[in-house]
Each structure stands twice: as structure tokens, then as C-alpha cells.
Structure 1
Amino acid sequence: MGIRVTQPGLLTTVQDLGRTKGLAQGFSPSGVMDQWSAIQGNLLVNNVENEAVLEYSILGPTVTFSTPAVIAVTGGVVNAKLNGTQIHENQAIEVNSEDVLEIGPLTQGRYGYLAVSGGLQVDSILASKATSLRYGLGGFKGRALKTGDFLATVEPKPVIAEPEKRKIAVSSHDTDQTVLIRVTEGPQFAQFEAETITAFTNQQFKISKNADRMGLRLEGQPLSVANVPEMLSEATVAGGIQVPKNGQPIVLMADRQTTGGYPVIGVVASVDLPTIAQLVPGQVVRFKMISLTQSQQALADQKGQLKQIKQTFDALNPKVSRKTATKISRLFR
């Protein structure tokens, strides 16, 4: 029992928060592009934060449920319909057997997510269910979904009390034509000339059409690397801003290579990674340098928001009496 794909959408894959345990073996982490939206989706349906979800880009899939479940659609804005009736994003929705969900095209943002109560039942490889398309690894047969694919879900439907009260009003996509992205100093920051640093922070960069899950190529006045010493390849990080010889920066994302030989002028603050991931070609970014301490504090504030959301939802769950809890615990001794 589970989900049948009747229309796959664009680049719809099974993803979680990434395959971090495979980095030493040369496997890119993959995972969702917008962790904030994926985690919110899982919280809405009472899953753990790292549970696998469906990620789609530009155009969402159409799926048919063969068993009851609770779902949530998060991320970029869509006009999703359940059995032809429009539903709201960012809230828990109950579905029944034979219900049809049509997510459709994104009207804002670039990536969207479908979370299902109990999670998607695919094999875990290197401690992750994420799809790595470059290696044909993980997720559903290591590839994007196709028409007719069937994804198993948990049965019977997990009990979720008062799903209609499980709503979230916070999103990660920014519709402004120019978006401010916070960055910290990269490993090679000090090797760039002062004029190049000024150009990096003062000018605007356009998101290129050649932006994908590996990296976001930016277009702007080229940054000079003429006096940056040649370097050996070193480990990459999410949000690292490489400057190749043509001077056009590349922001490394989920499917990035594990090592790279281009100098890194800055690193996108973790709290802003979901925002830059959701930008579409033609949108413009400006970078603002902040300290590592400021970046850590911003991330801590975001985690505090998630903690408050989780506490609110946990309060909706039915309480188990102490006597009942004791009886249950004895069954597993």
C-alpha cells in the first residue's frame, strides 16, 4: 500500500537531509535543496525531521493514494488540488484510499515537497534514503520518478490528533527581485584582493539558467582570481562560493562534488541556504558579509522556531497515562 505516480512532474525524487556518512568515500551528500521546507513538512505530519519526502522542481507530480494517510505540501508555492479541490500548503491534510493529489506547477520558488505520515518506505543506503542521481544511488531505484512508479508508505495510517490544527505560516522562498544573502568568509577569502572583495559584496549577481542541484551559477561582473595562488583540491561545503578562472561565482549545493580546486571566497550562512536554493533564473542576489558568530546565532534562532513548532504540535498529540505507559514499557523488557 502506498503512492502510485500517475504524472511524475519534473525531477521528482526521494530525498532526506542528505548522505553525510558517504562524504569520505566520495559520495556527494545529495538530500533536499531546501531543508527548512522539508523539515516543516515532516513536522506537520508528525514525522522525524530527517524522514524521506518527495522533492520536485518547477512542476509537481500527480499521485494516487492506495491507503489513507496524512500529507503536507511545503516549499515553493503551488495550487495543489485533492480530487479536483484546491488545498492549502503548509498544513496537514488527511487523504483516503483512491484520492488523487495534483500538485502542478510552482508559481513561486523552485523546489517543493510532499511529506507523508510515517515516511516513504525505501531502503537506506549509507544511513540515508536520499537519491544521488549522479551515482544512481538511493531513493527509488536511484533515479527520478516515472509514471507508474509505486512508493510504499506505512500502513495502517499513523494516528495524528487534530490534523486540521497543524499549520505553519513560515516559508523559505523570497519573491523579491533582489534578495540579500548572508555569507561568512571562505577558506581563501584573505587571498583575494581588496578590490575583488568589494566587488563581491557591492554588486548584484543574477541566477543563471545553468543552475541545478549541483550548484547555482551566478552572472555578474567577473571577480578577479589573477593573484590567488593555485591550490590543491579540498573538501567542499554546502553554500561554498567558488570563483573559477572566468570570475563567475558558483554556489555549491546538495549534489556538489565532495572536493574542489577553485578558491572559495565565501560560504552562504546555513540559515540562508534554503532561500538561495529557492531562487529562480533571473532573480538577483547581493551578498552581505557577516561573522561566523552571527551566522551561528541566526541558525540557532531558526532552530528555536522549529522547536516551538514541534512543541505546539506535540501538545496536540494524545496523552498516554502513566499507568498505560508503564504497561507498554513492560512489553519491551
Structure 2
Amino acid sequence: MNTLKILTSGIFSTIQDSGRIGYQGEGFLNSGVMDLFAYQIGNALVGNALIDNPASIEFGITGGKIRFSSHTIVSVTGARVVLRLNDNEIDQDVPIIVKKNDVLDFTKMTKGRFVYLSIAGGIQVPTIMNSHSTSLAVNLGGFEGRKLENGDVLPIFDLSQVFHQNVTKLTPKMSKEIFSLANSDKIRVVNGPEFDWFSETEWRKLLQKTFYLGKHINRMGFRIDGPMINFKPENLLSEANMNGAIQVSRDGHPIILLADRATHGGYPVIAKVISSDLGLLSQWPQNKPIYFEKVSVTDAWAISIQQADIIKNIYQTQPWQTLLPTRVMANKIKQLF
């Protein structure tokens, strides 16, 4: 059996994919990765089709250290880390070839909060309701429904099980501009379902005042410190919780709901962080001021398409092929002749 072994699991590592979509109405959490853009880039780099919802490992707060039992291709994306392969420092955001007994060490995180290890073929754990994602609240999915620990051994595919080895076509060189940790000074939002529960004065607070991440932040949501936001004194029936919804609690503090949010809630939602900025928000530094910017739904769709085009470009250049055995031989022959 081909495996990877967790030598150092870090503070908070779980197996995740794009989420357990379509079961929230039945009471199951979506879960899934916190930074979808970084996850998608990581899987594109190793040739995994996103339609297959491949399982990656999400490391939170600190990275990890992994030993591989077989030859395969991996990538490390998202938060910035000091990345070493067998003590040799290497780059992130590129496909990496690893061989039997190779050790990949990225325990030290220098910027951001979530880093992703993606493997050609994905981590081979069972699919539950069309997803490999770990939901810790109910011990569901991933690896035994729990966080990863030192010594855990996870099944993966060998390189020969994932790729056909008769690659002969030369492919374009991958752009060096790929950077999976998004960077911006603002978090963009659209109207929430209860946007009209808030006066123009309260909206100006949200869009013109400075906010910071509070002490209470986790995969369920981020509590935001800043000016209190008030809304009209009405009771709200429970409604489905959205990823990125900015709820305002009775004490006036905004709470941004994220991957492991509850399935429903009863606080009014003034705005929603656009899907393309959820990864940016998940990696936001604790002491960096947050400024919200309102955009139209049309603009939000356009931004989403721009991100999708970046992922599409990676697949078109097929960077993983440059590491396949036949590609290495083809390149050597090209140099000789």
C-alpha cells in the first residue's frame, strides 16, 4: 500500500475538500476547506480534476512534516511556509516530485493561517455524502472523523496509478506568477438577506470604519471587533446559514460565518463576503485592519470568473507533466538534439 505518514501534525490539521454540499437542509455541516482558491490551485498543480472533489490536508496555524512511501507529485499552497524537501529549501505553488522515504517539512508558517498539501490522485479516504471533508463537530468524514495526529498513516496513490506514462506532447511552461495566498487591503461584500434591517448610518459604519479580527476565530466563524452595529428591534425566524454571511448579534458585534458554521441561525445578516474573498479572509492577519467594500452581484460574479480563469490556465499548461518520467527523458533528448 502506498502511504504518507504524518511525522508532525501541527496544531490543527484535517482532511478537507470543497465541502459536503447539498446536505445542509438535512442538518449536516458543509465543512470543506477555508481557502478554496488555494485548495483549487494546489490540486490543479498536481493534475487532480476538481470535479472529483479530491481530498487534501488543511493545516491550520502551523504546518506539518510528512514522509512518503512512494513516488508521487505534491504541492503546498495557501499560507506561506518555510518549505524543505529532505532539508533542501524549495518553492511553494509549484508541483513537487517526491520519492520513497522523502520528507517534506513545512512546520514553520510565516504568513497566513491555512496551508494545503495536495497529492496526485488525492488522499484515499472514504467518501461520505459526496465529500471527504472532516466535520469535527459530529466526527464525520476525513480520517476517522478527527484531526490528524503524529504517526497517522494515510493511503495515497503511487505516480504510476495516477498518470499514463506515455506522455509525448511538449506543454507550455507554467507561469511563475502563480501565488496562492491572495493579497488585498479590503474584503468585498454584497447585500445580505436582511440588508434593509440596517439604516444608512449603520451601513456607513460597516463600510467606512475599521474592524479587526477578534479573539474568537475558528473554522466556524470569525468574530469581528469594531464599532457596534445596530438593527431594527424585530425577531427573525431561523434561516439557512451561508458561508461568508456577516451576522450581527444582539450586542452589535459582527460575526462572519465560515466553513464549519451551524446549518441555520437567527441573527440578521447585513452582508455576505463574496465567495472569491473567503480565502483572503481566512488568511487575514490578526493585527491587520479590515475594511469592507460593497460590490454588486454582477461584479462578484466577474471576480469569481477571474479566479476560475487562473485555475483554468494552470490546467491548460499541465505543469505536473514536466515531472513525469517520460517528460524528464523527453527533455533530456531535446537537450541532446
Alpha-carbon distance in 1 for matches of 2:285, 2:319: 35
Q: Describe the SS at the equivalent of 1:224.
A: coil
Is the 1:206–1:220 Cα contact (8 Å) retained in structure 2? yes
Counterpart position of 1:39: 40
Tell me which amino acid in the other structure corresponds to 1:310. Y
Counterpart position of 2:209: 203
Counterpart position of 2:313: 308
Give me the CA root mean square deviation: 2.1
Is the 2:95–2:319 Cα contact (8 Å) retained in structure 1? no
Is the 2:18–2:33 Cα contact (8 Å) retained in structure 1? yes
Structure 2's unaligned 5+ residue stretches are: 325-337
Tell me which amino acid in the other structure corresponds to 1:57. G
Match of 1:171 among 149, 166, 179: 179
Alpha-carbon distance in 1 for matches of 2:268, 2:6: 42
Tell me which amino acid in the other structure corresponds to 2:228. P
Match of 1:239 among 241, 244, 247: 244
User: Any residues of structure 2 matched to 1:80-119 within 5 Å, and which?
Assistant: 80-119=83-122
Counterpart position of 2:332: none
Match of 1:289 among 288, 294, 303: 294
Q: Describe the SS at the equivalent of 1:74.
A: strand
Is the 2:93–2:180 Cα contact (8 Å) retained in structure 1? no
**Residues 171-214 of structure 1 deviation map (CA, whole Å, 9 limit, x = unaligned):** 353567xx211100000001111111111111011011211100
User: Any residues of structure 2 matched to 1:127-276 within 5 Å, and which?
Assistant: 127-157=130-160, 158-159=162-163, 169-173=177-181, 179-225=185-231, 227-276=232-281
Aligned-pair identity in percent equals 36
Between 1:157-166 and 1:88-97, the stretch displaced more is 157-166
Alpha-carbon distance in 2 for matches of 1:285, 1:8: 30
Is the 1:121–1:151 Cα contact (8 Å) retained in structure 2? yes
Q: Describe the SS at the equivalent of 2:117.
A: strand
Alpha-carbon distance in 1 for matches of 2:123, 2:200: 49
Q: Describe the SS at the equivalent of 1:115.
A: strand
Match of 1:280 among 281, 285, 294: 285
Tell me which amino acid in the other structure corresponds to 1:245. R
Alpha-carbon distance in 2 for matches of 1:116, 1:211: 28
In the TM superposition, residue 267 of structure 1 has moved relative to its aligned partner by 0.4
Going from structure 1 to structure 2, the CA distance change for 1:314 and 1:172 (only over 3 Å counts) comes to closer
Match of 2:77 among 50, 74, 77: 74
Is the 1:93–1:163 Cα contact (8 Å) retained in structure 2? no
Q: TM-score, normalised by structure 1?
A: 0.90
Which ranges of 4 or more aligned residues in structure 1 deviate by more than 6 Å?
160-164
In the TM superposition, residue 168 of structure 1 has moved relative to its aligned partner by 5.5
Aligned length: 315
Q: TM-score, normalised by structure 2?
A: 0.89
Alpha-carbon distance in 2 for matches of 1:59, 1:168: 26
Q: Describe the SS at the equivalent of 2:136.
A: coil
Alpha-carbon distance in 2 for matches of 1:126, 1:12: 21
The answer as to 2:300 corresponding to 1:298 is no
Alpha-carbon distance in 2 for matches of 1:33, 1:14: 12
Structure 1's unaligned 5+ residue stretches are: 319-333
In the TM superposition, residue 170 of structure 1 has moved relative to its aligned partner by 3.2
Tell me which amino acid in the other structure corresponds to 1:48. A
Alpha-carbon distance in 1 for matches of 2:122, 2:173: 20
Is the 1:173–1:279 Cα contact (8 Å) retained in structure 2? no
In the TM superposition, residue 24 of structure 1 has moved relative to its aligned partner by 1.6
